[in-house]
Structure 1
Amino acid sequence: MKFIITKNYDELSRVMCQNILSHMYSNNERINIALTTGKTCLKGYKYLSSEINNKLYFENVNYYIFDEFYFKSENYKETLPVCRISLDKEFFRDAHIKESQIHDLTFENYKTFDHDIIKNGGFDLVIMGVGSNGHFCGNQPGTFSNWNDGTRLVKTNQTEYLKNYSKKLLKNDFNSTDEKRIPSHYITMGPKTIMNAKHIIFILNGDEKAEVVKKAFFSPISDEFPVSIFQLHQNVTVILDEKAANLIKDII
C-alpha cells in the first residue's frame, strides 16, 4: 500500500489527476476505469477534464459508475440516476466523453456485470472515497453477506443509515422531500468486484477523515468497517492531504 501525502486539497487534486492519466496513457487496447462521485474528487475531475478534452487518443478509455440510485421523477413516470447525473455535471460533459465510453449500472445489466467486466479485461483502475462509516461504493455496513459478494441490489431501507442517506440524496440532489420518489433498491458493485481491480486509488481530505484513514488502513479488517478489506489488496494507493494524514504520519 502506497501513501501519498499532499500539502493541501489543490495538490491532492493534481496528484489524483496525474495518477489517472498514467493509466490512460497505457498501451492497452482498452482501459477500464471506475469513478466515484462526491465532493472530494471534484477538483481532480476539473484538472482531468482539461487534460483529456477532445483528445482522440483517449477514446479507448471506458468509464464505469460503480453504484447507482434510480430516483423517480416528480411525476413518477421517469427514473433519474443520481450518480450518472452527478458525473455528467462534474466530469463527462466538460471532458466531452462520448456516450459509448460511459457504462451505467442498470437493473438490466447488474446480474451479468461481474462476468462482463472480466470479459472486457477487468478494471485497470478504481477511484474511490471512503465514507465516515467505512463504506465503499454502495457497500454499507450490514448490506453484504460476505467479502465474495459481487454486483447486486441493496434495499434502500436495509439499515437506518441507508434510510437517512436516501432521504439526504433526495433532498440534496433533487430538492425534494417526497419519499415516494426513493427507489426500493439501489445497485452497487460488491467487495469481490472491486477487489478484482488491478489498481485502487483512495482519495481523502480534511480533518474529519483523519480517524477514517487510520481505521480503514491500520485497524483490524472488519465487515463493520468494510473498506478495511483493501488492506489485503496488492496494489492500493492512498492520496491524502496533511489534515487527513494527521493520525498516520508516525505509522507509515
Structure 2
Amino acid sequence: MKIEVLPAGEIKTRVADLLSEQIKRNPKSVLGMTTGSSPIKYGIYQEWIRREQAGELSFHEARFINPDELVGISADHPESYRTYMQEHLFGQLQTLRYEPQIPDGSSIDLMAECLRFDQVLADLGYVDWQLMGLGLNGHIAFIEPGDHIPAKTYISQLFEENRVSQSPHINSEEEVPKQSITIGLEAVMKARNIVLVATGENKADMVAKAFTGPITTSVPASFLQLHANVTVILDAAAASKISLY
C-alpha cells in the first residue's frame, strides 16, 4: 500500500495522472468509478473531462463500471448513482464509446440482479483501475461493517449515517433508500489497481483504523491492506493520525 499526502488542490491532478498512466498502459482498461462528494468537491471528474477535451486523454476503448447503486429508486431518479455519474462524468465525455455498467437497484428480482452483475464483472475480466472513497464508518463501495463480508455482489443494509439525510429530490426521510446493491469483497480484491481518496479531519480516525489498524470486517476498508496495488491519497487533515515514517 502506498500512502500519499497532498495539498487538497493537487489531488485532482495526481488522480488524473494515475488514470492517464493506466490508460496508456492499457487503452482497453475497465475503469471502476465512485460516487460521493470527493470527486466533485476536489474536481477529480472535472479534470478528466478537461484533459479529454484538450486531447490529453481518451476513453474510446475503455469501459466504465460502478460498484453500487441505491435500491428502490429508478435508474433515472435524480438521486440514483447512474444519474450522478451521467451528470458529473459520462454525459460530458466526448470519447465514451461503451455503455457504462451500473447495478440496477430497481430490479424486481434483486438476487438475480446480483448474479447478473457478478457475471458482468467476470465477463469484463474484473476491474483494471478502481477509484474509491472511504466511508466514515470504514465502508468501501457500499460494503458496510458487519460480522462478515460477502464475497459476491449482494444487498447491503445502509448504516443510518450513510443514508442521505436530506435531499431536494426525495420528499421525506422515510423515502430515502435503506439498501444498496454492491459488489462483494472478491471484486474489490480482484481489481488490479485501486486508488482511494480520503480527505478532511472527519476521516482521520477511520484512515488510521483502516490502514494502520487490524484487518477486520468491522472496518471493511482494512482489507485493502491485503491488496497488492493500492494507492491511498490523503490531505494533511485526513493523514493527521497516522505515522508515515
TM-score of the pair, normalised by structure 1: 0.83
Inter-partner Cα distance in structure 2 for 1:215 and 1:183: 28
May I ask how many residue pairs the two structures share in their alignment?
A: 235
In structure 1, the gaps of 5 or more residues are none
Inter-partner Cα distance in structure 1 for 2:223 and 2:21: 25
Q: Are the aligned partners of 1:149 and 1:190 in contact in 2 as well (CA < 8 Å)?
A: yes
Equivalent position of 1:86 in the other structure:
84
2:220 to 226, 233, 237: 226
Q: Which has the higher strand share?
A: 1
Equivalent position of 2:156 in the other structure:
154
Amino acid at match of 1:166: R
Equivalent position of 2:163 in the other structure:
166
Inter-partner Cα distance in structure 2 for 1:57 and 1:46: 14
1:176 is displaced (CA, Å) by: 2.1
Equivalent position of 1:24 in the other structure:
23
Q: Which has the higher helix share?
A: 1
CA shift in 2, pair 1:27/1:230, >3 Å: closer
Inter-partner Cα distance in structure 1 for 2:210 and 2:140: 11
1:178 is displaced (CA, Å) by: 5.8
Q: Are the aligned partners of 2:59 and 2:97 in contact in 1 as well (CA < 8 Å)?
A: no
1:183 is displaced (CA, Å) by: 4.7
Equivalent position of 1:125 in the other structure:
129
**Matched position secondary structure for 2:163:** helix
Q: CA RMSD in A?
A: 2.5
Amino acid at match of 1:51: R
CA shift in 2, pair 1:225/1:178, >3 Å: closer
Q: Are the aligned partners of 2:73 and 2:80 in contact in 1 as well (CA < 8 Å)?
A: no
Inter-partner Cα distance in structure 1 for 2:232 and 2:155: 28
Inter-partner Cα distance in structure 2 for 1:209 and 1:27: 33
1:22-62 Cα deviation digits (max 9, x unpaired): 1122235x211111111112211111111124969421111
1:221 is displaced (CA, Å) by: 0.7
Equivalent position of 1:214 in the other structure:
208
In structure 2, the gaps of 5 or more residues are none
Equivalent position of 2:116 in the other structure:
112
Amino-acid identity (%):
26
Inter-partner Cα distance in structure 1 for 2:240 and 2:178: 39
2:181 to 172, 182, 187: 187
1:97 is displaced (CA, Å) by: 5.8
Inter-partner Cα distance in structure 2 for 1:185 and 1:97: 33
1:186 is displaced (CA, Å) by: 2.2
Amino acid at match of 1:25: K
Amino acid at match of 1:103: Q
Equivalent position of 2:64 in the other structure:
63
Inter-partner Cα distance in structure 2 for 1:167 and 1:40: 15
Equivalent position of 2:5 in the other structure:
5
Q: Are the aligned partners of 2:59 and 2:95 in contact in 1 as well (CA < 8 Å)?
A: no
1:251 is displaced (CA, Å) by: 3.6
1:70 is displaced (CA, Å) by: 4.1
1:12 is displaced (CA, Å) by: 1.2
**Matched position secondary structure for 1:228:** helix
Q: Are the aligned partners of 1:71 and 1:82 in contact in 2 as well (CA < 8 Å)?
A: no
Inter-partner Cα distance in structure 2 for 1:245 and 1:184: 31
CA shift in 2, pair 1:174/1:79, >3 Å: closer
1:4 is displaced (CA, Å) by: 1.3
1:127 is displaced (CA, Å) by: 0.7
1:139 is displaced (CA, Å) by: 0.8
Q: Does 1:102 align with 2:105?
A: no
Q: Are the aligned partners of 1:155 and 1:184 in contact in 2 as well (CA < 8 Å)?
A: yes
Amino acid at match of 1:11: E
